[in-house]
């Protein structure tokens, strides 16, 4: 049985980072200069961007097997999970961007019939921001690095990408595929490394946008550093996302609900930003839910052991954090019946899917985002009190999941609890909806991407108003001198 990844990633030297940042900026300005000399810059730009997206598409396609193997080596994610959750989605998203690009790049007319504007022409065009820094996390190392990259390229930017150091095999393959994709030198560059290298990138103050995906703790470091140079940033963060099974949910659907909840809570070993972090179950259905939890766990994992295809915790520290929280919980644990994990569990960083019930808001499992295959259950009586508690403890989660058959109740929860997204009747899958905005609110982040939202995020909307000269007599009011005649009009 192999351990989790022990590969040493080759980190970019700090002096090379300065150079890469400068190349990224210079390339952007030179590209714009070249375009400005074209007879039809917009058409040329569209062709250029399409070509880069095609290059990215084929580079991913050609390296798909290598990427999947790398993710398996990094944290034992199965091939099927990686294909479904990362490479297929990524390639579809790139194709979609290619398809919508002509429409997205077309300036939009705005009409205003008030006197100063009635004879002029107003358009809003989406211009490239410039040089973009993308910092990505470990848990979906390909999609969350190359997805934003595709949107940034679609919007005509240059990019410096900093993949997660916790998935070294995947980061290495990504660098290889980006280096050999055929992009012009300087368009896309990779910086490999951890805190020192990312800090160096953040401190240079030279980017036009920082797109960060990761934990709220590091997110605030990124935002603080970005603020020093007035660099805008998008923060895609995590947090504790609640799931409700309410009193108005048909008991005959509880099993289906639990399958969908476990899919989100235990997939990728719970290391999903939109994982159902904890379950809020109404007293009237609580015992039924616990009973069905046991059944579904046994059905999903009939013989859970070290050879089961199950993603590992990314590193020993994450394993220790999660097991410490599990050891300190006051709740009752449910594991799949035939679970046998030997003494080398910690070396393998494997935690079996675990449901924990009879817990309260002060439990160790409610202190921080679990980010592990652990699903705490809190029994509740009063919906409004429970929502108050969520607002008080976690404010604005990245997502909320609702299992209820009452439209009034669903509306009630949605009205009271703000969240980045919401699914009624399922978990996690909303991230796959093309052209639906994905992002957080408040402490789960700000800014969105996904389909054309990504294009917009990586663009600046510029208003261009063209005023003719012949109509100056209609504008006489604004010119001095102000006199009583004008005031009377």
Q: Which residues are catalytic?
A: 236, 273
The nearer residue to ligand NAD, 137 or 168, going by C-beta atoms, is 137
Is residue 162 within the footprint of ligand NAD (CB under 6 A)? yes
Of 211, 222, 135, nearest to 447 by C-alpha is 211
Nearest-CB residue to ligand NAD?
Answer: 238
Is 317:280 a contact under the CB 8 Å cutoff?
A: no
Q: Which is nearer to ligand NAD, 110 or 195 (CB)?
A: 195
User: Nearer Cβ to ligand NAD, position 218 or 290?
Assistant: 218
- Which CB atom, from 220 or from 471, has the smaller least distance to ligand NAD? 220
Q: Does 138 bind ligand NAD (CB under 6 A)?
A: yes
Q: What is the C-alpha separation between 187 and 193, in angstroms, rounded?
A: 20
When asked if residue 273 is in the footprint of ligand NAD (CB under 6 A), the reply is yes
Say how far apart CA 343 and CA 348 lie, in whole Å.
10
Q: By the 8 A CB rule, do 1 and 305 touch?
A: no
- Cα angle for residues 409, 415, 416 (degrees, 5° grid): 95
Site for ligand NAD in 45-74 (CB under 6 A): none
Q: Which of 17, 53, 144, 410 binds ligand NAD (CB under 6 A)?
A: 144
CB 430 within 8 A of CB 436: yes
323 binds ligand NAD (CB under 6 A): no
6 exposure class (CB count in 10 Å sphere: 0-12, 13-18, 19+): exposed
* Spatial contact of 426 and 442, defined as CB atoms under 8 Å apart: no
Q: Scanning residues 401 to 460, which ones bind ligand NAD (CB under 6 A)?
A: 440, 445
Q: Which residues of 207-237 are buried (b: 16+ CB within 10 A; e: fewer)?
A: bbbbbbbbbbebbebbbebbeeeebbbbbbb
By CB under 6 A, the count of residues binding ligand NAD is 28
User: What is the nearest approach in angstroms of ligand NAD to the Cβ of residue 280?
Assistant: 19
Rule CB under 6 A: choose which of 67, 387, 398, 417 binds ligand NAD: 398
Q: Which of 5, 82, 85, 198 binds ligand NAD (CB under 6 A)?
A: 198
Cβ–Cβ under 8 Å, residues 100 and 453: no
Residue from 32, 179, 215, 358 touching ligand NAD (CB under 6 A): that is: 215
Q: How far apart are CA 245 and CA 402, in angstroms?
A: 6
Q: Does 221 bind ligand NAD (CB under 6 A)?
A: yes
State which residue, 156 or 420, has the beta carbon closest to ligand NAD: 420
The token pair at 2 is 């192999």
Q: How far is the CB of 418 from ligand NAD (least distance, A)?
A: 16
195 contacts ligand NAD (rule: CB under 6 A):
yes
Report the nearest approach of ligand NAD to the CB of residue 6 (Å).
18
CA distances from 381 to 246, 285, 317, 387, 407 (A): 9, 11, 36, 11, 19
Residues that bind ligand NAD (CB under 6 A): 135-139, 144, 162, 164-166, 194-195, 198-199, 213-215, 218, 221, 236-238, 273, 369, 371, 398, 440, 445
């Amino acid at each position: 049985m192999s351990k989790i990844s022990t590969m040493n990633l080759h980190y970019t030297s700090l002096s090379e980072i300065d150079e890469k940042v400068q190349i990224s900026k210079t390339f952007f300005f030179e590209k714009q200069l070249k375009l400005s000399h074209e007879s039809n810059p917009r058409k040329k730009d569209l062709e250029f961007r399409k070509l880069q997206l095609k290059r990215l598409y084929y580079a991913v396609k050609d390296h798909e097997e290598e990427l999947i193997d790398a993710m398996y080596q990094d944290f034992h994610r199965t091939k099927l999970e990686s294909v479904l959750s990362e490479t297929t989605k990524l390639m579809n998203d790139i194709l979609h961007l290619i398809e919508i690009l002509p429409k997205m790049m077309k300036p939009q007319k705005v009409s205003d019939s008030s006197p100063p504007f009635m004879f002029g022409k107003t358009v809003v065009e989406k211009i490239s921001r410039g040089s973009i820094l993308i910092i990505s996390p470990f848990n979906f190392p390909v999609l969350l690095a190359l997805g934003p990259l595709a949107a940034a390229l679609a919007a005509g930017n240059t990019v410096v990408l900093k993949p997660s150091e916790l998935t070294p095999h995947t980061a290495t393959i990504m660098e290889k595929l980006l280096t050999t994709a055929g992009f012009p030198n300087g368009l896309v560059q990779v910086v490999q490394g951890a805190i020192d290298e990312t800090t160096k990138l953040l401190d240079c103050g030279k980017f036009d946008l920082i797109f960060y995906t990761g934990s709220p703790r590091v997110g605030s470091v990124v935002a603080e550093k970005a603020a020093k140079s007035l660099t805008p940033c998008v923060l895609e963060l995590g947090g504790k996302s609640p799931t409700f099974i309410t009193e108005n949910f048909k008991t005959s659907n509880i099993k289906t609900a639990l399958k969908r909840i476990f899919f989100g809570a235990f997939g990728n070993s719970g290391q999903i930003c939109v994982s159902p972090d904890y379950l809020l179950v109404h007293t009237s259905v609580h015992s039924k839910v616990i009973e069905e939890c046991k059944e579904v766990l046994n059905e999903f994992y009939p013989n859970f052991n070290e050879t089961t295809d199950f993603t590992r915790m990314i590193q020993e520290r994450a394993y220790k954090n999660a097991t410490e929280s599990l050891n300190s919980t006051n709740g009752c644990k449910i594991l799949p019946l035939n679970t046998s994990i030997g003494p080398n569990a910690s070396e393998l960083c494997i935690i079996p899917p675990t449901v924990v019930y009879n817990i309260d808001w002060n439990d160790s499992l409610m202190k921080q985002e679990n980010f592990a295959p652990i699903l705490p259950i809190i029994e509740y009586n009063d919906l409004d009190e429970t929502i108050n508690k969520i607002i008080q403890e976690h404010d604005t989660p990245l997502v909320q999941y609702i299992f209820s058959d009452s439209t009034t109740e669903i509306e009630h929860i949605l009205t009271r609890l703000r969240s980045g997204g919401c699914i009624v009747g399922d978990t996690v899958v909303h991230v796959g909806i093309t052209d639906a905005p994905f992002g957080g609110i408040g402490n789960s982040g700000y800014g969105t991407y996904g389909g054309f939202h990504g294009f917009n995020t990586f663009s600046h909307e510029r208003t261009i108003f063209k005023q003719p000269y012949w109509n100056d007599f209609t504008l006489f009011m604004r010119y001095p001198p102000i006199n009583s005649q004008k005031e009377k009009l």
